[in-house]
Amino acid sequence: MYELWTAGEHHKARDIHYELHPLVDVIFTETNPAPAKWVLQQAGLLESAHVRPPLAAVSGAGQQRITELLQAGAPMLGPPLDRLTG
């Protein structure tokens, strides 16, 4: 995105920016860092999605919303996160 922008390809860089929005929204689905840890655990990159109190694990509704956002951002994902959208 940065390279496209600095090369004057502003429309292409802007397209990438907007395609990344659903993936950025994942982080803010619930109290951070729980959503990020849950995604990494689902992808097999973390052993546990545990967060220390006073934070709470991602709720069932949050997991569903994260899954929807990951599917919306699927074109921007690469291995190993791309398997979360299948």
pLDDT at 81 > cutoff 90: no
Closest CA to 76 of 18, 30, 28: 18
Position 77 confidence tier, pLDDT thresholds 50, 70, 90 = confident
Residues 6+ apart with CB under 8 A from 63: 38
Structure pTM?
Answer: 0.80
Q: Residue 13: enclosing H or E segment and its boundaries?
A: helix 10-27
pLDDT at 57: 95
82 — pLDDT class (breaks 50, 70, 90): low
What does the pLDDT look like over 12-62, one tens digit per residue? 999 999 999 998 999 899 988 999 999 999 989 999 999 999 999 999 999
